[in-house]
Amino acid sequence: MPHACTAANRSLAVAAAAVTLAAISVVLSIAPAAAQYPTRPIRIVVPFAPGGGNDIAARFVAQMFNESFGQAGVVDNRPGGGSTLGTAIAAQANPDGYTILVSHNAMAINTTLYAKLPYDAIRDFAQVALIAETTNILVVHPSSGVKTVKDLLALLRAKPGVFNYASTGAGGTSHLATEYFQQLTKTSMVHIPYKGTGPALSDLVGGSTQFMIAAAPGTLGFIKGGRLVPLATTGVKRWAQLPELPTLDEAGVPGYQFDTWYGAHAPAKTPRPIVIRLNAEINKALQVPALRAKLSESGLDPAGGTPEEFTKFMRAETERMRKIIVASGAKPE
């Protein structure tokens, strides 16, 4: 028996050594790949139509790839399904670092909004970095004659279910932000969904809809050009770029808060060294004065942080959105 035990122990030791060598081999094979990465252009999937904050954040990442890696970042707009189409494409992509998703709050929203998704926002992605944050702005068409939030509320309450509001798509940030607004103000409007900020704002400017809560980056140009009237922002405090605008909380909707954020995500099994490198380069780019200024001019506030911090943030946002969705009764269309 002692001889049998000794033989068994030797077999276990040999097996353990083999596993250790295999693990070391995997690490050694990944390390050179990460050191050489990238060697070809990188696809940046944006699950919305061109225009708006997602595009701005994605093109910031594309510029970072060009300047830091010497490789092109190719923005691939894949709108549809409240961002679920493009997000699923990214989740199912080869996890080699050559497909990156740049999305926003929809990553946290859709987990609760949709009964079934072709991906899990936490499990199927390696969270890379929080790129930027921004406020949303409540805007109306100039022909409405509305100048303040109180004017708007009086109009909506006088004619419930008559006015149309635009959104970036069913389940998108502006859709849920407006559902939350209706819940708190006890008003009713007709939802007109679009495939992104660009087409939604275009129709609002054209007068097809009357009202929208839209992320600041796509909205600023229309406000400055006098084509849309801003009434309030959606943050906890006033937005530095439009300090004269009250928050919705200040303007007559107590407790309202709904900001927008943009982040970079990679398919879940992307090698950890590549995720770390991507995170480091994004954080480095966010400290370059010219790039920070470019984001700020577009209405985005640079963020940053570690992959772990972004993962924790995503989990917290998912729970916060769950509570808002359940309370508002919002549904995808």
pLDDT one-digit tens code per residue, 231-246: 999 998 999 889 999 9
Say which residue the tokens 């004619």 belong to: 159
Give how far the C-alpha of residue 159 lies from the chain's centroid of Cα atoms, to the nearest Å. 34
78 and 216 inside one domain = no
pLDDT one-digit tens code per residue, 74-95: 999 998 888 899 999 999 999 9
Of the residues 203, 225, 251, the one at which a domain ends: 251
What is the band of 304 on the pLDDT scale with cuts at 50, 70, 90? Answer: very high
Check whether 18 has a pLDDT greater than 60: no
Least confident range from 187-191, 192-196, 224-228, 282-286: namely: 192-196
**Residue pair 7/249 in contact by the 8 Å Cβ criterion:** no
Check whether 2 has a pLDDT greater than 50: no
Quick one: what percent of the chain has pLDDT higher than 90?
65
331: which 2 tokens?
Answer: 């549904």
Domain presence at residue 11: no
Burial of residue 6 (CB within 10 Å: 0-12, 13-18, 19+) is exposed
pLDDT one-digit tens code per residue, 103-148: 999 899 999 999 899 999 999 999 999 999 989 999 999 999 999 9
Domain presence at residue 180: yes
173 and 322 inside one domain = no
Q: What is the pLDDT of residue 136?
A: 94
Quick one: what percent of the chain has pLDDT higher than 70?
89
Domain presence at residue 95: yes
**Distance between CA 111 and CA 107 in Å, rounded?**
7
Of the residues 234, 251, 268, the one at which a domain ends: 251
φ/ψ of 214, rounded to 5, equals -125, 150
**Residue pair 234/312 in contact by the 8 Å Cβ criterion:** no
Domain presence at residue 274: yes
The residue range of the domain holding 101 is 41-132+260-328
247 and 270 inside one domain = no
Instruction: Check which CATH number belongs to the domain holding 197 and give it.
Output: 3.40.190.10
332: which 2 tokens?
Answer: 């995808």
Q: Which helix (H) or strand (E) holds 289?
A: helix 289-297
**Distance between CA 290 and CA 306 in Å, rounded?**
22
Q: What is the pLDDT of residue 33?
A: 58
Sign, CA torsion 316/319/322/328: negative
**Distance between CA 74 and CA 41 in Å, rounded?**
7
Sheet holding 73-77, edge to edge: 73-77, 42-46, 99-104, 260-267, 125-134, 301-302
HSE-up (13 A, CA, CB side) for residue 202: 10
**Distance between CA 31 and CA 310 in Å, rounded?**
24
Which has the higher per-residue pLDDT, 124 or 28?
Answer: 124
Q: What is the pLDDT of residue 200?
A: 93
pLDDT one-digit tens code per residue, 185-201: 999 999 999 888 889 99
Of the residues 197, 218, 251, the one at which a domain ends: 251
Domains held by the chain: number: 2
Domain presence at residue 287: yes
Q: What is the pLDDT of residue 333?
A: 67
Which has the higher per-residue pLDDT, 91 or 183?
Answer: 91
| Length in residues, the chain | 333
Q: What is the pLDDT of residue 34?
A: 65
For the residues 39-58, what does the mean pLDDT come to?
A: 90
**Distance between CA 297 and CA 282 in Å, rounded?**
18
316 and 244 inside one domain = no
For the residues 304-311, what does the mean pLDDT come to?
A: 97
100 and 179 inside one domain = no
Instruction: Check which CATH number belongs to the domain holding 265 and give it.
Output: 3.40.190.150
Domain presence at residue 25: no
- Percent of the chain that is helix, strand, coil (3-state, to 5): 50, 20, 30
Mean pLDDT value across the chain: 87
The closest alpha carbon to 200, from 170, 174, 166, 173, belongs to: 166
pLDDT one-digit tens code per residue, 249-273: 999 999 999 988 999 999 999 999 9
pLDDT one-digit tens code per residue, 200-223: 999 999 999 999 999 888 898 899
**Residue pair 291/60 in contact by the 8 Å Cβ criterion:** yes
Q: What is the pLDDT of residue 45?
A: 97
Residue type present at position 104? H
Which has the higher per-residue pLDDT, 311 or 23?
Answer: 311
What is the band of 1 on the pLDDT scale with cuts at 50, 70, 90? Answer: very low
224: which 2 tokens?
Answer: 């400055």
Burial of residue 132 (CB within 10 Å: 0-12, 13-18, 19+) is buried
Neighbours of 193 (CB within 10 A): 18
